[in-house]
Amino acid sequence: MTASPIRTERHDDVLVIISNNPPVNALGAAVRTGLKAGLEEGLADAGIKAMVIRCDGRTFFAGADITEFGKPMQGPGLGEVIDAIEASDKPVVAAIHGTALGGGCEVTLGCHYRVAVPSAKIGTPEVKLGLLPGAGGTQRIPRIAGVKLALQMTAVGDPISAKAAQAAGLIDRIVGEDSLEANAIAFAREVAGIRPLPRAREKSVQADEAAVAEFKQANARKFRGFDAPAANIACVEKAASGATFDEGIAFERQEFMKLMMGTQSAAQRHLFFAERQAAKVDDIPADTQLRPIKKVGVIGAGTMGGGISMNFLAAGIPVTIVETAQEALDRGTGVIRKNYENSAKKGRYTTEKVEGMMGLLSPTLDLQQLADCDLIIEAIYENMDVKKELFGKLDQIAKPGAILASNTSYLNIDEMAAVTSRPGDVIGMHFFSPANVMKLLEVVRGAKTSPDVLATVMALAKPIGKVAVVSGVCPGFIGNRMLSQRQGPANKMLMQGARPEQIDKALTDFGFPMGPFQMGDLAGVDIGWHRDPTRIESIRDALAAKGRWGQKTGKGWYDYDEKRTPTPSPEVAEIIEDFRSKSNLPKQDFSDEDVIAATLYPMVNEGAKILEEGMAQRASDIDVVWIYGYGWPIYRGGPMFWANTVGLDKVVAGLEKNGVEVAPLLRRKAEAGEKF
């Protein structure tokens, strides 16, 4: 029999129950069983007056054991253990360090008292996995700390500091950072004789309808499409409705099971694991020696170059930024400062921090200044000849062992590497715009990129706040290659009688932040246009020829007012009808489902080709790209996960109906009844 992760230590009249279940003391079956046994030991011993629950390692219980999800329940349920703690007739004190999250937070709420070190955090982030705290959290938090904080903690899910928790009554005392156990034992002795014991279930909740209404309104945009926030809110409302604690718990259980069995939570849990999986490169050993990155060079101070630089500066890594003209350099550094200052106004940075970050930035017009950089990223415009010329120069300037990276979004990395004497040092680092905000980093592995270069760049993603996914070299890599499959069918539907606003609405109702035509207006209708107003071969050509270049000119696929609010354009409707009438395509009506099938199934199909060609390591990597780079709705888990929920046979049938050639891998999986 393996040793229990829970042990007990007796300190005269106080029993300390200790968990040692690395890395985060997850509340698995063995931990729950041990906690219950420890509690029973303390209750059975007449010499014990109070108990303390604490954890070894870097943190208090940081949540449930996610690997148990969807499997049959072993040992006592967490709710049962927490109820037993709360029912104890001897005081139980939670001693918190690190993070008490999810089930860990719920354990503390079942204890009669809570003490914490100043650096501790407490919270219920289950909503981020499409769930709710299902062991009494939605009922105990409002009873201890009130409705307003309970809504914030459960439905938004961000943890709060020990100080904020103490102010709300969730923590009784903040103790010494290095003397948690001794202080907790002393506190337990202080409260040993106090009766009645404070039990959360016995407290009543003050209803606060105004707080609920205000909270719903403030978060309406953020919660759109998600099931879990609404369920968390409903549970807190139930606690405040005058229901008994047991009625509230029954309601919480029912809502928890609904979420647990639904596709949204499955999608959000899939993403949780997918994100961690994406960081692993299958054929590179975990112990690969990384190259040190102490200084970074960025070429180009435009929107991309500036945004890329901000990631490194915020991580405390010095950046040398290069431009060809002083004016462009000044403008670029000015924008970086302005962005930081705006964040400071919102309280994200102190003024000192802004000055510190700006102090790490060295603007220059001289490429030679990059000679001592460990990593150089070019963010100049998308032109292969210009990029190749630049890589040739960098080959002469950069020190041996420096990594040379391109921020290209679709050009061939191998061609750039071929003009250098060190193709092993060349890699693609495709940031997404705005680069200081978007979390995705597509890391493009060239044919000759050396393993330690790839491992270094993948490891660098975390400190600069990015989620990295490896792609092979192919036009558009993973994301843009799939995106290109969406626009064609959208344009074709216009020629068959659909309207831009109808197509966009179907996709925003699906959960995208914007549809393809809204996105075209944001990016610029003239991007990639041949610039000849007399050559009109497509609807887009006709719009561009009339100066309808999108939001920047106040009109594109839509008309815009001064607040950039779009309204359908009669002029565009006329242009589309003119094109449609000249084509021989019959007019038809499209349902939202038709729009989804026509625009999204081809993307899944392309994803299958990407997997078959080995351009992505795994289907879940593709999902990560689309969620963090292109606004695919999180609660749908990414295109490949979503295709599984739709049914691959249905996707194949839809593609065939629309005359799209089905990828062999997709067809094989559909016929075998398999999933991605």
- Across the beta sheet with 6-11, the strand order is 6-11, 14-19, 50-55, 92-96, 113-116, 173-174
Q: Which long-range contacts (CB under 8 A, 24 or more apart) does 394-399 make?
A: 394/367, 394/370, 394/420, 395/419, 395/420, 395/421, 395/422, 397/367, 397/368, 397/370, 397/371, 398/370, 398/371, 398/373, 398/425, 399/371, 399/372, 399/373
Q: Distance between CA atoms of 621 and 609, rounded to whole angstroms? A: 14
Q: Distance between CA atoms of 540 and 557, rounded to whole angstroms? A: 9
Catalytic site residues? 106, 126
Q: Distance between CA atoms of 4 and 21, rounded to whole angstroms? A: 9
Nearest to 297 by CA among 234, 208, 233, 368: 368
Vertex 663: Cα angle to 658 and 667 (nearest 5)? 90
Look at residue 417 and give its three-state secondary structure.
helix
For residue 143, how far is the Cα from the chain centroid?
31
Q: Distance between CA atoms of 606 and 591, rounded to whole angstroms? A: 23
Residues 6+ apart with CB under 8 A from 456: 290, 291, 293, 403
Vertex 246: Cα angle to 244 and 248 (nearest 5)? 70
Asked if residue 279 lies in contact with residue 266, where contact means CB atoms within 8 angstroms, the answer is: no
Q: What are phi and psi of 387, to 5 degrees?
A: -65, -40
Q: Distance between CA atoms of 471 and 508, rounded to whole angstroms? A: 28
Residues 6+ apart with CB under 8 A from 665: 608, 609, 611, 612
Q: Distance between CA atoms of 596 and 506, rounded to whole angstroms? A: 7
Look at residue 297 and give its three-state secondary structure.
strand
Q: How many CA atoms lie within 13 A of 381 on its CB side?
A: 4
Residues 6+ apart with CB under 8 A from 507: 514, 515, 516, 595, 596, 599
Q: Which ranges of 449-538 does DSSP label H, i.e. alpha helix?
A: 451-461, 479-495, 500-510, 516-523
For residue 651, how far is the Cα from the chain centroid?
27
Q: Quote the DSSP letter at residue 475.
A: T
Look at residue 557 and give its three-state secondary structure.
coil
Burial class (CB in 10 A: 0-12, 13-18, 19+), 46: exposed
Q: Distance between CA atoms of 133 and 157, rounded to whole angstroms? A: 10
The amino acid that residue 180 corresponds to is L
Q: Would you state the structure tokens that stand for residue 152, as one six-digit string?
A: 């914030």
Q: Distance between CA atoms of 237 and 258, rounded to whole angstroms? A: 17
Angstrom distances, CA of residue 276 to CA of 346, 532, 621, 625, 634:
30, 48, 10, 13, 15
Angstrom distances, CA of residue 245 to CA of 203, 250, 467:
9, 9, 41
Asked if residue 62 lies in contact with residue 104, where contact means CB atoms within 8 angstroms, the answer is: yes
